[in-house]
Amino acid sequence: GENVEQHPSTLSVQEGDSAVIKCTYSDSASNYFPWYKQELGKGPQLIIDIRSNVGEKKDQRIAVTLNKTAKHFSLHITETQPEDSAVYFCAASNVWGYGGSQGNLIFGKGTKLSVKP
Amino acid sequence: DTAVSQTPKYLVTQMGNDKSIKCEQNLGHDTMYWYKQDSKKFLKIMFSYNNKELIINETVPNRFSPKSPDKAHLNLHINSLELGDSAVYFCASSKTGAEQYFGPGTRLTVT
């Protein structure tokens, strides 16, 4: 089955700096890669996602890149703000393929991002 | 309006009891999920369900069972609770199987 590795486990940056979180996946059948932000006491919130037919996607200060050959994808946050502090999770899924596990997200272990004012 | 809601938010119970967690989504989605988040924040899929198919993660004990009275609800029943069941349980829903929207979570504590 799919296995997702995420690094680093903790990341501390100064306000205004950039933050990068990296993930690798093992199953070449995975075709959908979302990123979630989880604030304390809340459920994970989808912040950006990318499909396997796209190499890069950007939404304001956040961007995600995907390298299918190397089986890794990354989250980039620019001009970080204190409200970006949270735990970020990457995930992988085989959404449009075949098999009983379609749509089941396999998560990385999370990165705790702290943005210092 | 809350898109995915869960009740209760906190659940404290003793070992051996049976409990249920309710989940409702008002997004009109076809597929619902249950995830477990352990004390180290690791999120793991337990079940996915649409009106055609229930997919169970093979590592989930059969003491856990999802029940769907209709497309907007997927409740989680847990029998004979054990200490190791203590965790935060999240319900999620999706229209396409891609974008999944999570509820606020239910923190279960088994004493």
Does the bond joining B104 to the residue before it have cis omega, within 30 degrees of 0?
no
C-alpha of A104 from chain center: 15
pLDDT over 90, % of chain A: 85
Residue type, B20: S
pLDDT over 70, % of chain B: 97
Calculate mean pLDDT across residues A88-114: 84
User: Is pLDDT of A98 > 80?
Assistant: no
CA-to-CA distance for B24 and B7, rounded, in angstroms? Answer: 9
Cβ separation B102–A101 shorter than 8 A: no
Query: Is B73 an 8 Å CB contact of chain A?
Result: no
CA-to-CA distance for B23 and B87, rounded, in angstroms? Answer: 16
Q: Tokens 């965790």 sit at which residue?
A: B87
User: Is pLDDT of A100 > 80?
Assistant: no
Structure tokens at A28: 């070449």
Number of inter-chain CB pairs under 8 A, A vs B? 63
CB contact at 8 A, B23 and B103: yes
Distances (CA, A) of A74 to A77, A91, A99, A109, B21: 10, 11, 26, 14, 34
> pLDDT by residue (tens digit) across B64-100?
999 988 889 999 999 999 999 999 999 999 987 788 9
> pLDDT by residue (tens digit) across A14-30?
999 999 999 999 999 99
Q: Which residue of B has its CA nearest to A112?
A: B41
Cβ separation B43–A101 shorter than 8 A: no
